[in-house]
Copies of this chain bind each other. A is one copy, B any other.
Amino acid sequence: MHRIPRDHPRYESLMLRQKMVRGSERGLAVKEGLLAHGRGEAFDYLLGERTSSEAKAAARAAAALLLMAKRPVLSVNGNVASLVPGEMVRLATALPGSVIEVNLFHRTEARARAIAAELGSAARKLGVRQLLILSDRTDARLPGLSSDRAKCHRLGMFSADVVLVPLEDGDRAQALKRCGKKVVAIDLNPLSRTARAADVTIVDNVVRALPELIRQVGALRTASPRRLTEIAGSFDNRQNLGRALGRILRRLGRLSRERVPSDRSA
């Protein structure tokens, strides 16, 4: 592991990269996960690497949906376990009746168990005792998905009414929607299939989005069911995605004016 100087202009981003490399060395993340993280880095760069007002609005609607849910399920993959295991545990404890389910695109039972162990260890550090983590030994299938990617748990995804999918594949986000579930996604690409399939999409880096979501859940914990319904109902995901994309376009335009001359001949 290389030491990164605190004053490096890309310190935060390089530290996250090291967390991902460590996660991959410990068998939590796969190499494809490193690639996906690199892809996210590029979108985070385009977003200016900070939480936008659109992301905050989405986190508020997400908090309302998750608090209204009867069976909220929080999906965790290798990248999430490498980057924010403690935050996932904290979010689960803030949501009554919630379950964490390990949910892998490149599924092996050994990796599912390693991720569950990582979450268990984060829970112990936080003094959390009651927490249901579903990992290996799946006992149900999500319709409309092929092979391993359909595997899930009867007490998890299969019976969930609201599912949080941070860093999810588009196919699976769409399959969850087709099953009639409310989907909350965290995705840095506002144009991705996951972002568009979800009911609420937080366009932000998961390391900033989860703390914000935990804050919003805390703020709405005592809100009435009617108030929660109002908040979730007044949120328009398509419009919010349009605003996030507008932010990227404006930033790219600005960078382009700074770095390459405008193209007058086209």
Q: A43 near B: Cβ within 8 Å? A: yes
Contact of A35 among B17, B238, B245, B259 (CB under 8 A): B17
Instruction: Collect the chain B residues with CB atoms within 8 Å of residue A20's CB.
Output: 31, 35
Task: Type the 1/0 row for A92-106, where 1 means its CB is closer than 8 Å to any CB of B.
Answer: 000000000000001
A18, B36: Cα distance in complex, Å: 12
Given the known inter-chain contacts A38-B39, A39-B39, please indicate yes or no for A263 contacting B248, CB distance below 8 A. no
CB of A261 within 8 A of CB of B239, answer yes
Considering only residues 73-95 of chain A, those with a C-beta below 8 Å from chain B are none
Tally of this chain's copies: 2
Which one, A133-141, A176-184, A188-196, A217-225, is touching chain B?
A188-196
* Residue ID in chain B nearest A25 by CB atoms: B31
What is the CB-to-nearest-CB distance from A263 to chain B, in angstroms, rounded to a whole number? 4
A259, B197: Cα distance in complex, Å: 11
Considering only residues 23-43 of chain A, those with a C-beta below 8 Å from chain B are 24-25, 30-32, 34-43
Q: A249 near B: Cβ within 8 Å? A: yes
CB of A238 within 8 A of CB of B253, answer no
Given the known inter-chain contacts A9-B193, A243-B263, A245-B260, please indicate yes or no for A35 contacting B31, CB distance below 8 A. no
Residue of A3, A196, A260, A261 contacting most chain B CB atoms (<10 Å):
A260
CB of A265 within 8 A of CB of B245, answer no
Given the known inter-chain contacts A35-B20, A38-B41, please indicate yes or no for A191 contacting B259, CB distance below 8 A. yes
CB of A238 within 8 A of CB of B252, answer no
Instruction: Collect the chain B residues with CB atoms within 8 Å of residue A255's CB.
Output: 191, 245
CB of B238 within 8 A of CB of A171, answer no
CB of A171 within 8 A of CB of B8, answer yes
Instruction: Collect the chain B residues with CB atoms within 8 Å of residue A243's CB.
Output: 263, 266
CB of B2 within 8 A of CB of A106, answer yes
Q: A127 near B: Cβ within 8 Å? A: no
Instruction: Collect the chain B residues with CB atoms within 8 Å of residue A196's CB.
Output: 259-260
Considering only residues 158-188 of chain A, those with a C-beta below 8 Å from chain B are 170-171
Q: A146 near B: Cβ within 8 Å? A: yes
Instruction: Collect the chain B residues with CB atoms within 8 Å of residue A42's CB.
Output: 38-43, 189
Task: Type the 1/0 row for A138-156, where 1 means its CB is closer than 8 Å to any CB of B.
Answer: 0000000011000000000
Contact of A262 among B146, B242, B263 (CB under 8 A): B242
What is the CB-to-nearest-CB distance from A31 to chain B, in angstroms, rounded to a whole number? 4
Since A241-B259, A242-B263, A245-B256 are in contact, a sample of 10 more A-B pairs with Cβ atoms closer than 8 Å, ordered by chain A residue number, is: A2-B106, A5-B146, A24-B31, A25-B31, A42-B189, A238-B261, A239-B265, A242-B261, A245-B252, A252-B252
